[in-house]
A = this chain, B = another copy of it.
Amino acid sequence: MNHNSSWDDLRYVLAVAEAGSVNAAAKQLGVNHATVLRRIAGFEDRHGVTLFERTARGTRVSPETRPLLEAARAVQSAVHGVERVLSGHDSALRGRVRVTSTDTIMQYVLPRLIGRFRKRAPEVFVDLVCTNAHLDLSRLDAEVTVRPALGLPKGLRGAAPARLGFAAYEPVGALPPAAGWIGLGGTLSRSVAGQWMADEVPPDRIVARSDSFVVACEMAAAGIGRVLLPCVVGDADQRLVRSPDRGTDISVDLWVASHADMADVPRIRAVREALIEGLAADRDRLAG
């Protein structure tokens, strides 16, 4: 099973590959060369592979071993990271992490989560990048993205710890019976909420439009009309109530993701996990 996985064997494999011979590797590792030989043989036996071509003038890596060596070097580099942490020169949770999200989430959800995270990792500088522009997750100009989406594109790693729920809202008090709707423009028109608007609300009922839920909320509060909002936005505004006759059950998965290549950089992983954990805790409020 997994129990025979000995991380230490990788050290020996790497040493032999870099030193070019078992003897040199043994000297470099400070152990007897017989030990190196046995551990290499054990590793090869356990995994059923042949790593090296043993010649009398040294040990050469066979070509198909190269990917394994590269993966092992990644382990070595990560171990160096651990050693830096142990030596105190580096903290592994220090540096800048850019988080990108929509204006709505960034204004109503993230600040509290980031604040909570920074108490645990005060040396991580979180840089919020607000971009409503692209709805797809794949183009990243940040290390972590928080976005509503239908799925997780490959090449990214993350989770959808909550769903973002929507509801129709209108100003408190009497709204004229013939009051119209505030439409969703820009990239919001291609979102799930925009799709619902296109399906349910005739175009001639739309009396205004905004490409931002935050602005649309203000417009509704000013009495312009009804509006479809994320529940976190609408519920937080005392001037709005849910439209009684409009029971909607729209919701979208809210994804937290980062590049697969950088997903396990400690500080990036820490931010991502903290956001996932925080969103899961806010699950009910987000779903509405």
Interface residues of A in 243-274 (CB under 8 A from B): 259, 261-270
- Expressed in whole angstroms, the Cα–Cα distance for A267 and B73 within the complex equals 11
For chain A, which range describes its interface: under 10, 10 to 19, 20 to 34, or 35 or more residues?
35 or more
Q: Which residue of B lies closest to A63 (CB)?
A: B120
Interface residues of A in 1-48 (CB under 8 A from B): 1, 3, 5-8, 10-11, 29-31, 47
- Expressed in whole angstroms, the Cα–Cα distance for A110 and B8 within the complex equals 38
A86 lies within 8 A of chain B by Cβ? yes
B66 touches A75 (CB 8 A): no
Which residues of B sit under 8 angstroms from A3, Cβ to Cβ? 29-31
A7 touches B5 (CB 8 A): no
A173 lies within 8 A of chain B by Cβ? no
Which residues of B sit under 8 angstroms from A86, Cβ to Cβ? 47, 49, 68
Q: Which secondary structure dominates chain A's binding surface? A: helix
A79 lies within 8 A of chain B by Cβ? yes
- Expressed in whole angstroms, the Cα–Cα distance for A266 and B74 within the complex equals 6
- Expressed in whole angstroms, the Cα–Cα distance for A267 and B70 within the complex equals 8
Interface residues of A in 50-80 (CB under 8 A from B): 63, 66-68, 70-75, 77-79
A93 touches B79 (CB 8 A): no
Partner of A266, one of B10, B49, B73, B265: B73
B6 touches A70 (CB 8 A): no
Which residues of B sit under 8 angstroms from A121, Cβ to Cβ? 66-67
The interface of chain A, by Cβ under 8 A from chain B, is 1, 3, 5-8, 10-11, 29-31, 47, 49, 63, 66-68, 70-75, 77-79, 81-86, 91-93, 120-121, 143, 259, 261-270
Q: What 7 A-B pairs come out closest when comparing CB atoms?
A: A70-B266, A77-B264, A7-B7, A75-B78, A67-B92, A74-B78, A71-B92
Q: What are 30 sample pairs from A and B whose C-beta atoms fall under 8 A apart?
A: A3-B29, A3-B31, A7-B8, A7-B11, A7-B75, A7-B79, A8-B8, A49-B86, A63-B120, A66-B120, A67-B91, A67-B121, A67-B266, A68-B82, A68-B85, A68-B86, A68-B92, A70-B92, A70-B93, A70-B267, A71-B82, A71-B85, A73-B269, A74-B78, A75-B79, A75-B82, A78-B78, A261-B261, A261-B262, A261-B265
